[in-house]
Structure 1
Amino acid sequence: MKIGIIGSGMVGRAFSIRLAELGHDVLIGTRNPIITLGREEPDSKGIPAWKFWSLHNPEIKLATFQEVADFGDVIINATAGAISIEALSKIEKDSLKDKVILDLALPLSYSPERSPKLIYSNEDSLGEKIQRAFPESKVVKTLNTMSYKVMLYPSLLPRQHNAFISGDSEEAKLIIAKIMEGFGWESKDIIDLGGIITARTTEMYAPLLFQLSKIKGHYNINISVVSK
């Protein structure tokens, strides 16, 4: 499958490697490839510049957001949630018509004095905003209740745990679930919450995730749903 990734940071790079390992054709996008290719210093999170990272991952190619949208059958939003709408607005809507958009992001604001805070919640979600911005696309929200390492390698956790999936298109959710099964998720552990409006529920889990990570000292954490 041709998969385009919007966002060339830590999460986008990790997804590109894993998807390529699984045999998918991958293209990763950045706002301005010339600028990205010219950087030599790590970014604010200490992620190595692309030119050095790509020496170890030469099979992953860099392109513009628009080129990635034209390329992919499935598009992954791996941008920071606070800028996702603005980043995706660089893409012509017709390029994403009828395509599946997998949204991983959390819309967060950061402050040194507190844990990350959701920019919007209760009445809206990033998943819904993307769906409204691209009404002819099929947005699926999933994997946003865990770190990217657990997203891609669910066996990192020693016991059964769950991923949640939200979206208005049943066909699109099946496509994304199939990709997730390639990562190692079992179909029985992927819980379909319903339409894209249910993206609010998993996005609002973020404060608890951050508090748990602070207590545990790491992000190898996820939810396991237990019922009788």
Structure 2
Amino acid sequence: MTRFALLGAGAVARTIATGLASAGRPVVVGSRRNLAEAAAYGDVVVNALPGDVSVAVLAGLRDELRGKVVVDVANAVRVDERGFAAELLYPDSSLAENVQRVLPDSQVVKALSTMHASLMARTGGEGVSVFLSGDSAAAKDRARELLTGLGWESRHVADLGPLVTARWAEGFVLAVRPVVEVLGPVPFGWGVVRSG
């Protein structure tokens, strides 16, 4: 059975770890003290670290992550005075592409970055989609194992293509402030509604 590891111990990591554990999937969470051990444990490793430190921290785990699928769910931004994303740290690239650059022996897949953390473990309802970006079809299949463990059905998953398309997905975070200003602080995510 595929073993999952979460790097990070915040709300995103807790939500994903709880969802996987509830589905009976083997999972560990790596905090500052045991990131290397967690990375070594997982067959599929989820980057749930803060986006602004992800590249530096993951570069230090290159050996532990060699040959593994790394699912990047983080967003790397500079925040404004209210704590909302004001601009992307990698405006001409993406966090996912920079993670792939420092982990050349891993396969990076972008996923789950277009929704509030509370929606990542699917509990039902319609409207929210998961978007996958990655250069390896096999790696995206492993990322789908993660999504299945979290309760996502294939009809809610859209493969955008190569890793460069993560640039679009990472732009989601810039929509949070204007949406919250209109709707209030309600959890939301992007979705594709198919007609016909």
TM over 0.5: yes
How far the C-alpha of 1:178 sits from its partner, in A, is 2.5
Match for 2:35 among 51, 55, 65? 65
Q: Distance in 1 between matches of 2:14 and 2:126?
A: 27
Match for 2:148 among 163, 166, 181? 181
Match for 1:225 among 170, 186, 192? 192
User: Does the 8 Å contact 2:19/2:149 carry over to 1?
Assistant: no
Q: Distance in 2 between matches of 1:78 and 1:114?
A: 18
Counterpart position of 1:18: 19
* Pairing of 1:31-180 with structure 2 (within 5 A): 31-32=32-33, 64-91=34-61, 93-112=62-81, 115-153=84-122, 155=124, 158-180=125-147
Provide Cα deviations, 1:117-143, integer angstroms capped at 9, x if missing partner.
233344210000000110110101011
Q: In structure 1, the residue corresponding to 2:185 is in which secondary structure?
A: coil
Cα RMSD (Å) of the superposition?
1.8
Provide Cα deviations, 1:83-142, integer angstroms capped at 9, x if missing partner.
111221331x23211100010000022232573123334421000000011011010101
Q: Alignment identity in percent?
A: 32
* Residue identity matched to 2:54: S
User: Does the 8 Å contact 1:12/1:78 carry over to 2?
Assistant: yes
* Residue identity matched to 1:9: G
Q: Distance in 2 between matches of 1:154 and 1:146?
A: 14
- The alignment of Structure 1 onto Structure 2 pairs a total of residues equal to 194
Relative CO higher for 1 or 2, CA cutoff 8 Å, sep ≥ 6? Answer: 2
Q: 1:113 to 1:20 in 2, by over 3 A?
A: closer
Q: Distance in 2 between matches of 1:183 and 1:113?
A: 31
User: Does the 8 Å contact 1:5/1:77 carry over to 2?
Assistant: yes
Counterpart position of 2:171: 204
Q: Which has the larger radius of gyration?
A: 1
Q: Distance in 2 between matches of 1:17 and 1:225?
A: 26
Instruction: Compute the TM-score of the two structures, normalised by the length of structure 2.
Output: 0.90
How far the C-alpha of 1:201 sits from its partner, in A, is 0.5
User: Does the 8 Å contact 1:82/1:119 carry over to 2?
Assistant: no
Q: Which consecutive unaligned segments of at least 5 residues does structure 2 have?
A: none
Q: Which consecutive unaligned segments of at least 5 residues does structure 1 have?
A: 33-63
Counterpart position of 1:7: 8
Provide Cα deviations, 1:141-192, integer angstroms capped at 9, x if missing partner.
011010111111252xx43332110001101111111321232222122110
Q: Distance in 2 between matches of 1:24 and 1:129?
A: 29
* Residue identity matched to 2:9: S
Runs of 4+ in 1 over 4 A off after TM superposition: none
